[in-house]
Structure 1
Amino acid sequence: MLMSIGQQGLWLAHQLDPESPAYNVVLAVRIRDRVRTDALQEAVTELVARHELLRSRFVAAEGGPVRETDPPEKARLEVREVPGADEAELFRQARQAADKPFRLGDEGAFRTVLLRRAADDAVLVTATHHIVSDATSAWLLVRDLLAGYGRIVAGQPSAAAPATPGWDEQVLAEREFTTSPRGVRAAAYWRHSRAGLVAAALPTDRPRPPRRTLNGATHELALPAGTGRRLTRAAAARGLTPFAWLLGTFQAALRRSGAGDAFLIGCPVTTRFSPGTREAIGYYVNALPIAARFGPGDTLLDAVEGAQRRLREGMAHARYPVELLDGAERRGPLFRISCTLVAADRLPVPGLYEGPVVAGGLRVELCDVPQQEGQLDLTVEVLQSASGFKALMRYNTDLFDEDTMVRLSGTWHRLIEASLDLPDTPTADVPLVGQDDLAALLALGAGPA
């Protein structure tokens, strides 16, 4: 069975470090009701019957990796009894279940673990390898799993018809596009837009290891609610998206933090272009190489408008897997830094991101388990919700200290505020230290008179 270009790259990354959880995609929920484990197991079976990638294994073969599928009944719910566990221990075990490495060739790329502390208190951890899912898929998975559970408990008929189109059809469509006239034009666009640029890289706290590592941690930047409201209004007034505003200021923050005046970062975007794919679990992602080019007098507004323009142009060519571009053209890794947006109000389980909901007859709430840390030098996931904007900055701990991420997030925050106050300020002229902080720093260097 077939694998997409992106899946082949993820398979290779897994071979280089099979013990790393960097590509584990996780969604865990706290359940505040009694759970019938027999019904939940049946719901797992229905789920993998509907979504074939969840019962796929990825096996090394002479000509490269191949995908094989198992019967739905092979997917098992693991139940762990953890009576007496306090909140910290319950969270630790949830993270442990999430971080367990996948054996893609033997066990596949999907697991469900129910950590049951009491009859009416449990955490359901769903984990996939990125090779079979994306951010949307993680939410679709939990939605379908809980909905299936609710139907089974209620004695209603199964809704486990296979999702269409199947994954082979998706891969064939990708291959057809890349060789079509539109695909050739898309490849030419990416070559032109990336000409002379290399992947953005920040100065590291330690020398880069000779072999790529996937060890990571997360630093969080939460914008004040007032800043988020101002940003949304300012973007709308200029016909821009909030993400373009955040992306442009993030590129400016990278520039001010030592990435140089011209570079590329990756922006993962969905490839769910047909109606059927919007309800399917799979790796529906391509990464757009978004260029940043700063001149001496370029303003914050220039950066924001440039980000919007390049995003719009890139989306017109998003079907093309840029991994196909010749390695010699790339002059190094495709990306070292990426930035993407997740809109909470568009997620498949309405309300779950913000607070408790009822799904499948169960009271559930989000259990925010850290994940996907260390994939690149830095991956930034911007979460947009009713409460505002939050950025999860997942960084490689072999390269960066937490203090470096704190400084970078502070620089980004300061540039966001400056872009809202005085958008025509040149990016190079924005002070990165507040007046009170500057006075304190100067006082440190002032000796006795």
Structure 2
Amino acid sequence: MGGVRPGRRTAAAARTGEARRDPVPGADLAPVCTPARRRRPVCPRPAQRRRQSQPPAAAREVRSAVKAFARTRIPRRERTDLAPASEIQRSMWFLEQAGRAGAYNIGLSVRVRGPLDPGALRRALLAVARRHETLRSVFVAEGGEVRVRTLPVEEFAELLFPADWDGSTEAPFAVDGGPLFRARLTSASPTEHLLSLCFHHVVYDGGSAALFWEDLWQAYAGAELAELEIQYADYAVWQQERLDGGLLARQAAWWAGHLDGAPVLSTVPPDRPRPARRTGEGRELRGRVPAEVYGALTRLARAETATVYMVVLAALQAVIGLASGRSDVLVGSPVSGRVRPELRPLIGCFVNTLVMRADLAGDPSFLDHLRATRLGVLDAFDHQEVPFDRVVESVNPPRLPGTSPLFQVLYAHQGTSGEAVPPPAGLTVEPVDERTSTAKFDLLLTTWEEDSGLVLSLEYATELYDDKSAGRFLRELLELLTTAVTDPGTPLSALGTGPWREPAADTVPAASAPEPDDTPWSPTEEFLRDVWARLLGRTDIGRRADFFDLGGHSFMGIRMLNRVRQEYGVELPAGVLFEARTLEGLAAAVDRGLRGTAPAEMVRLAPGEGPPLLLVHPVGGGISCYVPLARQLPMPVYGIEAVGLDSVEAMADAYLEAAAPLLDQGPVAFGGWSMGGVVAFEMARRTEAASGRTVPVVLIDSHVPDPDAEAPDEADLVQWFAADWGASAGGDLGEGITGRAELWRRAEERGLLDPGQDGDTVRRLLDRFETNIAAVGRFRVPSGHRGPVRLLAAAGESWAAGDRGWGAVTSGGLTVTAVPGDHYGIMADPALPGEVADFLKGAVCHD
């Protein structure tokens, strides 16, 4: 939620389905999928098997299991209001809570030429969403469990084309409010159109692309889409029953044995130390295997009853081993997860990630290594139904902060381009090819086959690798492939340049054991120790015990946080599991939550070049209102959310401490909308007083508060909150709301609050709103600030002073620019961000 309007007395794929790749996974569980650049799903095509024969009893057991699996069908479940989430949906939900908002979005844009009918397109999109219920899903957390609610088609229809979405992939979804699929159509002329679509990964994966476009164009042409035999929710129930029926135990045991003793890190030596917290920033580099080399590659694959995927995977493992100087190499690889025929017509997130382990000891030839890789891939495929997070739980590897477990390099092969799904006659469709600016892992290699050869895309983390190192890696991979496929008998040591740097030992914190400590345990620590003991089934828990080292995993962590909420009423974000990993650290986080004084932290909203801009939260306390603006600015943009402080002075000090890394780097600008501008101004003033350094301030329709104004009563507070909440949510709750009961009733009527919902979340938002209103209402802005101040004033607020009162407290030059719109329209109107962007660019560059 954003700012309150100050009153006079107010105190405050197929080619048609080509998509940008999947978003940034978190530092713990990483079920990943790379959206299809071409029609085929991302899973590699299984190769014909040539293995040693199994013992007769084992062979009979396998044949019996295969026949039983083939005879069964996934049943259609009885429909209920709330359905179970699948394993990967629960993982994705958790990562969304723990990571950066918008990181799990899959966006794609296509240019449509011809006489496109917008009405027919809208009806077609709704027809696809009607057929595939998962596209209308929203997620609800209850008692530590994640459940799925399907929006009615009529309700979804009102949300499909959000007016405040600018088409950017990064704009966050409200996972708990939905929808998780949105569209935008812009037309330059009757025959020139840009269709932008965005899905949350929790309802869509790379294997969904061709299905989506085929259904869309059929519905656009007037065909009626047949009802599906089953829905994604039926799969979720079936999957859980299958895992609980013994499959999980059997396959997880295989993975635990297969990955026993695996290295903590399996990657190319980075140029810089690995940060404890990753921002997900990255770049993409592309290359191409020449046609003649590609021909030799495919011939080698056929000769060895292998696939192109297996040959490239073997080469990738070899390059990693040579560059790192290690013989034990692990690479992650996604598979489509559609393990039954009845799942193939379904849109949804089925993808799973397998860990491909290679033993390069003894310097084998590339041919011997390929043969071993082929068998390893087939073994992994035999055990692909165990969700990746359950593999992590079973193996329980040591964790390094900011690093995905088990592997740090991912390889996804997307097959051949196949036949594009054709649009209706008279229309042509061309994908908009967008290069990524994110990195999900250290390195992510994606390949796809075209008529002219094999295309390679390397996505790399710029926090770890320079452009030069990324280029070297891709070059060495291409060179190794060229030599290996033409002379596969060559030893691996002769195919590369050797280690890039001296191999370093894995540095992993030792598992915690009960440490001698005479200091009495706090009540919070004792409570958490009991919770951990019940969840983990062990009593050897010390203060500095690491939750994950003791066998904890993310789903267990969700249950633990739910117990904290029930006992203390403190809502901790899922990300605290990775930041406060020890019992001591988690207890401190709970105690801070009880005091309402969690430390302020900067959140990166958008990357960029040049001096950064730091935006302070408005009166609502959140910073999501800045995301659309941040994505259109050329400079890096950061935000700071409210942490429960009850004075502007305390906020300024806490936020300056959080912003110290930016101030140490060089020039920076502070800014904010509404109340955020007031706090930003005080931060700049304090910086100047402490160091003599002037910091430009960007004020977005901020007013100098009047501490002599009457404090709001309950009726005023609820009315202002209602106006702010409604405007931020894109709705209007109406006039005359003077009490909380009426606020709840109106919110339910407008669809902002589910009927019967207890409203705890809204109560917390209202409490935060009240705290911030009171803080800014008491604040008297000191005068004499010498730094430049830029005010972007809403022209629609004609009652307000043109300079909003800032002229009286500044001496370094105040620039006022009036822009169309009212107080809320500045942030919400899609026509205004361009003007805001230009204005802020000038301020940050210190014009």
1:11-410 alignment, distance < 5 Å:
11-21=93-103, 23-73=104-154, 74-75=156-157, 76-78=159-161, 97-151=168-222, 156=223, 158-159=224-225, 161=227, 163-198=228-263, 199-258=265-324, 260-325=326-391, 326=393, 329-332=396-399, 333-346=405-418, 350-351=419-420, 357-359=422-424, 362-371=427-436, 373-410=438-475
Q: Distance in 1 between matches of 2:221 and 2:453?
A: 32
Whether the 8 Å contact between 1:20 and 1:214 is mirrored in structure 2 is no
Structure-1 residue corresponding to 2:511: none
Q: Which string of whole-angstrom CA distances, capped at 9 and with x for unpartnered residues, describes residues 341-374 of structure 1?
A: 112345xxx236xxxx544652212222335942
Q: Which amino acid aligns with 1:47?
A: V
Structure-1 residue corresponding to 2:487: 422
Q: Which string of whole-angstrom CA distances, capped at 9 and with x for unpartnered residues, describes residues 19-62 of structure 1?
A: 344x3223332211121111111111111111111111123443
Of residues 393-402 and 132-141 in structure 1, the stretch that sits farther from structure 2 once superposed is: 393-402
- In structure 2, the CA distance between the partners of 1:249 and 1:328, relative to structure 1 (3 Å rule), is closer
- Deviation, structure 1 residue 276: 2.1
Q: Which amino acid aligns with 2:415?
A: A
Of residues 111-120 and 34-43 in structure 1, the stretch that sits farther from structure 2 once superposed is: 111-120
1:411 to 470, 476, 495: 476
SS at match of 2:396: helix
- Between 1 and 2, higher relative CO (CA 8 Å, sep ≥ 6) is seen in 1
Q: Which amino acid aligns with 1:248?
A: A
Whether the 8 Å contact between 1:149 and 1:360 is mirrored in structure 2 is no
Whether the 8 Å contact between 2:255 and 2:395 is mirrored in structure 1 is no
SS at match of 1:209: coil
Q: Which has the higher strand share?
A: 1
- Deviation, structure 1 residue 77: 4.9
Q: Distance in 1 between matches of 2:436 and 2:425?
A: 25
Whether the 8 Å contact between 2:186 and 2:195 is mirrored in structure 1 is yes
Larger radius of gyration: 2
- In structure 2, the CA distance between the partners of 1:314 and 1:207, relative to structure 1 (3 Å rule), is same
- Deviation, structure 1 residue 17: 2.7
Whether the 8 Å contact between 1:202 and 1:259 is mirrored in structure 2 is no
- Deviation, structure 1 residue 194: 0.9
Whether the 8 Å contact between 2:476 and 2:496 is mirrored in structure 1 is no
Q: Distance in 2 between matches of 1:413 and 1:185?
A: 39
SS at match of 1:38: helix
- In structure 2, the CA distance between the partners of 1:115 and 1:218, relative to structure 1 (3 Å rule), is farther
- Deviation, structure 1 residue 339: 0.8
Q: Which string of whole-angstrom CA distances, capped at 9 and with x for unpartnered residues, describes residues 381-400 of structure 1?
A: 21123332112222222222
Structure-2 residue corresponding to 1:436: none
- Deviation, structure 1 residue 97: 2.4
Whether the 8 Å contact between 2:268 and 2:323 is mirrored in structure 1 is yes
SS at match of 1:330: coil
Q: TM-score, normalised by structure 1?
A: 0.84
Give the aligned length.
Answer: 406
SS at match of 2:354: strand
Whether the 8 Å contact between 1:340 and 1:380 is mirrored in structure 2 is yes
- In structure 2, the CA distance between the partners of 1:229 and 1:372, relative to structure 1 (3 Å rule), is farther
- Deviation, structure 1 residue 286: 1.3
Q: Which amino acid aligns with 1:108?
A: P
- In structure 2, the CA distance between the partners of 1:51 and 1:427, relative to structure 1 (3 Å rule), is same
- Deviation, structure 1 residue 149: 1.0
Q: Distance in 2 between matches of 1:382 and 1:363?
A: 26
Q: Which string of whole-angstrom CA distances, capped at 9 and with x for unpartnered residues, describes residues 234-269 of structure 1?
A: 211222211100000011111122162113211111
Whether the 8 Å contact between 2:317 and 2:330 is mirrored in structure 1 is no
Q: Distance in 1 between matches of 2:464 and 2:116?
A: 43
- In structure 2, the CA distance between the partners of 1:286 and 1:134, relative to structure 1 (3 Å rule), is same
- Unpaired runs of 5+ residues, structure 1, are 81-92, 434-449
Whether the 8 Å contact between 2:332 and 2:356 is mirrored in structure 1 is yes
SS at match of 1:281: coil
- In structure 2, the CA distance between the partners of 1:380 and 1:295, relative to structure 1 (3 Å rule), is same
- In structure 2, the CA distance between the partners of 1:177 and 1:295, relative to structure 1 (3 Å rule), is same
Whether the 8 Å contact between 1:414 and 1:432 is mirrored in structure 2 is no
Q: Distance in 2 between matches of 1:269 and 1:323?
A: 14
Of residues 35-44 and 58-67 in structure 1, the stretch that sits farther from structure 2 once superposed is: 58-67
- Deviation, structure 1 residue 180: 2.9
- Deviation, structure 1 residue 314: 0.9
- Deviation, structure 1 residue 412: 0.6
Whether the 8 Å contact between 2:256 and 2:394 is mirrored in structure 1 is no
- In structure 2, the CA distance between the partners of 1:53 and 1:136, relative to structure 1 (3 Å rule), is same
- Unpaired runs of 5+ residues, structure 2, are 1-82, 400-404, 499-847
Q: Which string of whole-angstrom CA distances, capped at 9 and with x for unpartnered residues, describes residues 190-229 of structure 1?
A: 1121111135232222222212332222111211122111
Q: Distance in 2 between matches of 1:370 and 1:203?
A: 24
Whether the 8 Å contact between 2:357 and 2:376 is mirrored in structure 1 is yes
Q: Which amino acid aligns with 2:414?
A: V
Q: Distance in 1 between matches of 2:378 and 2:214?
A: 31
Of residues 249-258 and 69-78 in structure 1, the stretch that sits farther from structure 2 once superposed is: 69-78
Q: Which amino acid aligns with 2:119?
A: D
- Deviation, structure 1 residue 416: 0.2
Q: Which amino acid aligns with 1:264?
A: L
Whether the 8 Å contact between 2:162 and 2:182 is mirrored in structure 1 is no
Of residues 137-146 and 370-379 in structure 1, the stretch that sits farther from structure 2 once superposed is: 370-379
Q: Distance in 1 between matches of 2:131 and 2:335?
A: 24
Whether the 8 Å contact between 1:79 and 1:116 is mirrored in structure 2 is no
- Deviation, structure 1 residue 120: 0.7
Q: Percent identity?
A: 27
Q: Which string of whole-angstrom CA distances, capped at 9 and with x for unpartnered residues, describes residues 101-134 of structure 1?
A: 2222223321122232221111222221211111
Q: Distance in 1 between matches of 2:287 and 2:324?
A: 20
Of residues 53-62 and 128-137 in structure 1, the stretch that sits farther from structure 2 once superposed is: 53-62
- In structure 2, the CA distance between the partners of 1:311 and 1:19, relative to structure 1 (3 Å rule), is same
